[in-house]
Structure 1
Amino acid sequence: MKKSAIAIVISSLVALQGCSNDAVTATQNVSQSQTPLAPQVVSASEQYLSMVDQYFNDTLELEPIYATYVGVNTYNDKFGNSLSETYLKHRHELNTRYLKQAKTIDASELTEELKLSHSMFIYDRDMDLKSEAYPAYFLPINQFYSTVFTMVQLGSGESAQPFNTVEDYQNWLSRLSGFINWIASAEQRMQQGIDNKVVLPRTLVERIIPQLDAQLVESAPESLFYAPINMMPESFSETDKALLKKSYTQLIESKLLPSLQHLRDFVKGTYLPNARGSDGWSGLPNGRAWYQQLANKHTTTQMPVDEIHNVGLSEVSRILSEMDQVRIQVGFKGDLTAFFDSLSSEPQYFFTDKQDLVDGYMALKEKINLVLPQYFNVMPKADYVVKPVERFREKSAAGASYQSPAVDGSRPGVFYINTYNLKAQPKWGMTTLSLHEAAPGHHFQIAIKQELKDIPQFQKFKGYTAFEEGWALYAEYLGIEMGLFEDPYQYFGKLSDEMLRAMRLVVDTGLHAKGWSREQAIQYMKDNSPMAESDIRAEVERYMAIPGQALSYKIGQLTILKLRAKAETKLGDKFDLKHFHDQIITSGSLPMAVMEQKVNDWIEVELKKH
């Protein structure tokens, strides 16, 4: 009888290591008594899950700040310089390797849920590789998204970075050192951008300078990065407290503040004079193709930007008509423009106290929570709180935003409301904004995704703007059925927010594909909505900074509504809205094509049941 493979290996090791005769005899007995071992069969699902788990771990090592946000604290001392050549090379190799490996897996042998995941995984790797054709690293900061903001938030003690132990504090010092290196890299990349004519519009650079100025203070204790020292746990020894205080002071004063000062001086003295006069991406080398790629990425579709522009024009026309019906319903005597002016200026539509605005959203939370069980089988375990946007970023921040809860349940989700300009926060817009940012919008979809047990880790934390923003806009629509818009003014608020998303299709494509100026975009939004001019300016400048992102909201919502209408038509009386919502939000965030396939499959299964 032939020895099994494992017996041969054991025998070889015995000979090499000079084992006793007893060991040799035992090995021979095993080889004589056992039949050859059958090769272990690994299913396609096991192969896939093993691969994506390894991918997720590799990604966490490459993106240590991302790891902190998803609750993995192994890399809390690392920064991860996404602007370095080493990082770019590793990211390319990772995407190339895993795309090739994923394509070797027989998807037909996967479970239905993993088929969706597999399609999503291949889509991501392919999209990441296609994005490498464009030098986004030449534009490392803008006024809307900034690593500086991220680091200030992490260092506040109220975000994902933990500050519970002495090691936590030391980890943050190490991460700050990495951030200082990143600042130098950002200057180098921006200089390369100047050399290659890939720079930000002048208006946006002018917005960045005061943001950097806000970080420049006289001494370490005045810096936002010093915040952890002011909240050290009582359990720390006096020796540890003194050493940490000294270390933080030295790092901030001798390295961090000088680096931020140098960045600010570079932006103002070198970058600003070389900023471009054009406002859209078409003003960059190969900018039109780059913009189409960004539109594809954010919408997770292949829709041509000209088609998106036309969809926007059609939606703006429809919503204007509905707004006029509200004007007639409430008995307003002037035309629609006068109605806009009234809603945007009359004192009864605004709070005069910032806390009253926050309290108003807390009251809405309770009202909405009462009706949610009628529409959802699955709801998040995590709660959310309402907070005002921090002062250091309130001037440039959006009117509202959402931050996901901690994965381990230690921190709730946060619905941020910008209280900087109360005239930009009308009372009539509160219901729709709460539905969008909190429940059942972003909070529901993102918290549920993080709490799912039967999907790979990478899928829990991956997000697609079209899916997540499309869902949030759909949540606003759902408010109609929930009976939350019986007040015509609140319904007008819903139309106003929907109008914003429709205008985005027109303005974003106008700026980046049709040669619109910033002023032209601002005027279009003023003509078609009651938004405060300060909000309009911030919105237009946001589109200038992150092209294509604003397209995702309306495209995502229209896709979900289309799928719901299809399911209602095909299933008729058998259609169950709760079950439809289960299909949308219980697999995590999905590209539009993958989501459509999931819903189509569900419809077929339901038809067979009946």
Structure 2
Amino acid sequence: MFKKILKYTGLGLLILLLSGTALAAHEWYAKKPFFFRAFLDRTLIKIAFDSPETLTSLGFLESVGIKGHNAELDDDRPEKGDELFAQLDTIHETLLSYEDSGLDENQLLSKEIALYLLDFSSQAKAYRYHNYPVNQLFGVQNGYPSFMEAQHRVETVEDAENYLSRLEKVKLKFEQNLLGLRLREQNGIIPPRFVIDRVLTEMTDFVETPISENILYTSLETKLAEAKEIPIKEQAELLAQAEENIREYVYPAYGLFIDYFAGIAGKAGSDDGLWRLPNGDKAYQLSLNFFTTTDYSADEVHQMGLSEVARIQSEIMAILKGEGFDTSAGFSQAIETLAADPKFYYEDSDEGRAQILVDYQKILDEINAGLDDAFRIRPKAGMEVVRIPEFKEKTAPGAYYQQPAIDGSRPGRFFANLYDIKATPKYGMRTLAYHEAIPGHHFQVAVAMELEGMPFIRKMAPFTAYTEGWALYSEQVAWELGFQDDPFDNIGRLQAELFRGVRLVVDTGIHEKRWTREQAIEYMKLNTGMAETDVISEIERYIVMPGQATSYKVGMMKILALREKAKLALGEKFNLKDFHDVVLKNGPVPLDILERLVDKYIAQGSAVSRV
């Protein structure tokens, strides 16, 4: 009987609880559940239950008929952060009460990963305000409309009414976020002036948009039109209420932020690195440790970047010379000549942008059909290419990935930025698609979500060096498998890797070596050949996300090193499918744990060729 009950974790535990099962109720409410996995899954579920927006994004409660959370927004008061840290302390105490001797190998790994995250959260508590939660890339000001457009499903009148409720409650949400901004201001943490200017422009444009053209209105309009159960008359009534709520609640909420940022603009300086904040050097080193899952110092990362930049530029120059380009004037001039050739760009029009999306999908369909020799495990979830919403694409990154819904109702999505046609050269499209979608983020994220018998924390752990390292590694795998045999596509791949190498230099340069924003922009522009609009957007991203950009190259280099280690140890018995199984079937992990898993795979001889 108990063996059967072991499977009732995660969603199963929740469903059993709803049905009144006594054991499930115990596992849900007891300080220390009988089953270790029940404790891990229940912990994340309870944290998610305190976040209506997370529940909507996960989409699993709707499958059992629960929708009330879709009428609510998260409680963003600073006090909620205090409550969460206290909750994490209790979780840490309970986790340690599970003796290692009573856990199997897989459970021990889960415990180790949970402790890794809890230990970091304990260290991070002192620096919880060392950030800019409203900036040109993310924050409630653009996260809220994006969430409503992408995550809030409208299939019934109840769903639409919940949408209206969230429009009404947004003013309170902004007021709560404003409290956190004022706390940071009191502690001397004010965003750089360019951040303030960017968000003011973004929010002013948002509220000056006619309501009938605002994404919050048009999104609901589209969803209602696609809903099969809502009569036309009711749709009109719901849209009329949405218009009123946007006017009465949404735009005034943005007005609060506009007034606040306009008021502090005069206090903002032009220094951009984390070093300028109280204990900023310690905060940055902690950020580097977390994002790379290593103990590398800022200087070590900086030097690693300089070395990689030199190596990759040399490879690009050799290809350009072979293709007849004049390389005598140096890398910057040669790459600018390549980038200036109009044959590598789409028409700067709606038709040209639509064709980019079509061609991205062709690229993904092609590689998805040709990976059987390299991958045994494949995600069940689908994959689609969409455009980044126009209202935020000017300051958004070149692309990003959105994971599929747990219940399968929404596929994985590769969002492409089409704002600047010159930022999408044809020779760079394959690499970007492989990174964000297949076999990059979509394979890693969707496979992890679909792993059976794995606690949620193992599926969704935020180890950026692993997840972004895998995506960058995937670009090279696609090339090795022959999907970038055109020399210019290979240049696109190398440029993408060079870009990540440059990130090591500029991120540490800004936050530890006290480079100015302009210094970093100049270095990146000279050493990548990227469009200036992209360079500016990237540098400004590193300023508001210290350390995150270093994780890509560090992670990729580690995965490649581990693959080479396995090849040397196993010789002819090495099988790429087996190696990828080891990397993907354990979910996201810190790099030192990944190395241990690969060492175990080597020791056990699990790379023996299989059909």
- TM-score band by shorter chain is 0.7 to 0.9
- 2:268 alignment counterpart: 275
CA–CA distance in 2 between the matches of 1:82 and 1:303?
A: 34
Is there any run of 5+ residues in structure 2 with no aligned partner, and where? Answer: 1-29
> 1:304, CA displacement in angstroms?
1.2
- 2:290 alignment counterpart: 297
- 1:347 alignment counterpart: 342
- 2:257 alignment counterpart: 263
Say whether residues 1:286 and 2:315 are aligned partners. Answer: no
* 2:274 alignment partner AA: W
Say whether residues 1:111 and 2:104 are aligned partners. Answer: yes
- 2:120 alignment counterpart: 127
> The residue matched to 1:311 in structure 2 has which SS?
helix
> 1:447, CA displacement in angstroms?
0.9
TM-score (norm 2): 0.88
Match of 1:66 among 54, 57, 74: 54
- 2:88 alignment counterpart: 95
* 2:243 alignment partner AA: T
Match of 1:231 among 223, 228, 240: 223
For residues 301-316 of structure 1, the aligned pairs below 5 Å read: 301-316=294-309
> The residue matched to 1:373 in structure 2 has which SS?
coil
Q: CA RMSD in A?
A: 2.2
- 1:24 alignment counterpart: none
Q: Do the aligned partners of 2:132 and 2:544 also contact (CA within 8 Å) in 1?
A: no
- 1:6 alignment counterpart: none
- 1:47 alignment counterpart: 35
For residues 568-583 of structure 1, the aligned pairs below 5 Å read: 568-583=567-582
Say whether residues 1:189 and 2:183 are aligned partners. Answer: no
> The residue matched to 2:371 in structure 1 has which SS?
helix
CA–CA distance in 2 between the matches of 1:368 and 1:398?
A: 24
Structure with higher Rg: it is 1
> The residue matched to 1:133 in structure 2 has which SS?
helix
> 1:427, CA displacement in angstroms?
1.0
Q: Do the aligned partners of 1:219 and 1:253 also contact (CA within 8 Å) in 2?
A: no
Q: Do the aligned partners of 1:160 and 1:406 also contact (CA within 8 Å) in 2?
A: no
Tell which deviates more after alignment, 60-69 or 319-328.
Answer: 60-69
CA–CA distance in 2 between the matches of 1:186 and 1:321?
A: 48
Tell which deviates more after alignment, 73-82 or 200-209.
Answer: 73-82
Q: Do the aligned partners of 2:170 and 2:249 also contact (CA within 8 Å) in 1?
A: no
Q: Do the aligned partners of 2:578 and 2:607 also contact (CA within 8 Å) in 1?
A: no
- 1:457 alignment counterpart: 456
> 1:168, CA displacement in angstroms?
1.8
- 1:503 alignment counterpart: 502
Tell which deviates more after alignment, 460-469 or 117-126.
Answer: 460-469
- 1:546 alignment counterpart: 545
> The residue matched to 1:136 in structure 2 has which SS?
coil
> 1:356, CA displacement in angstroms?
2.3
Q: Do the aligned partners of 2:60 and 2:406 also contact (CA within 8 Å) in 1?
A: no
- 2:522 alignment counterpart: 523
* 1:479 alignment partner AA: A
- 2:471 alignment counterpart: 472
> The residue matched to 1:235 in structure 2 has which SS?
coil
> The residue matched to 2:188 in structure 1 has which SS?
coil
- 2:16 alignment counterpart: none
Is there any run of 5+ residues in structure 1 with no aligned partner, and where? Answer: 1-41
Q: Do the aligned partners of 2:291 and 2:464 also contact (CA within 8 Å) in 1?
A: yes
Q: Do the aligned partners of 1:386 and 1:414 also contact (CA within 8 Å) in 2?
A: yes
CA–CA distance in 2 between the matches of 1:383 and 1:546?
A: 30
> 1:417, CA displacement in angstroms?
1.4
CA–CA distance in 1 between the matches of 2:418 and 2:465?
A: 27
- 1:20 alignment counterpart: none
CA–CA distance in 2 between the matches of 1:137 and 1:170?
A: 38
> The residue matched to 2:414 in structure 1 has which SS?
strand
> 1:82, CA displacement in angstroms?
3.4
Structure 1 residues 375 and 99: alpha-carbon distance in aligned structure 2, compared to 1, 3 A threshold: same
* 1:313 alignment partner AA: L
> The residue matched to 1:402 in structure 2 has which SS?
strand
Tell which deviates more after alignment, 528-537 or 240-249.
Answer: 240-249
- 2:145 alignment counterpart: 152
* 1:248 alignment partner AA: A
- 2:436 alignment counterpart: 437
> 1:407, CA displacement in angstroms?
1.6
Match of 1:180 among 171, 182, 189: 171
Q: Do the aligned partners of 2:140 and 2:174 also contact (CA within 8 Å) in 1?
A: no
Structure 1 residues 215 and 179: alpha-carbon distance in aligned structure 2, compared to 1, 3 A threshold: same
Say whether residues 1:252 and 2:257 are aligned partners. Answer: no
TM-score (norm 1): 0.88
- 1:23 alignment counterpart: none
Say whether residues 1:202 and 2:193 are aligned partners. Answer: yes
Say whether residues 1:77 and 2:68 are aligned partners. Answer: no
> 1:292, CA displacement in angstroms?
0.8
* Identical counterparts, % of pairs: 34
Structure 1 residues 101 and 424: alpha-carbon distance in aligned structure 2, compared to 1, 3 A threshold: same
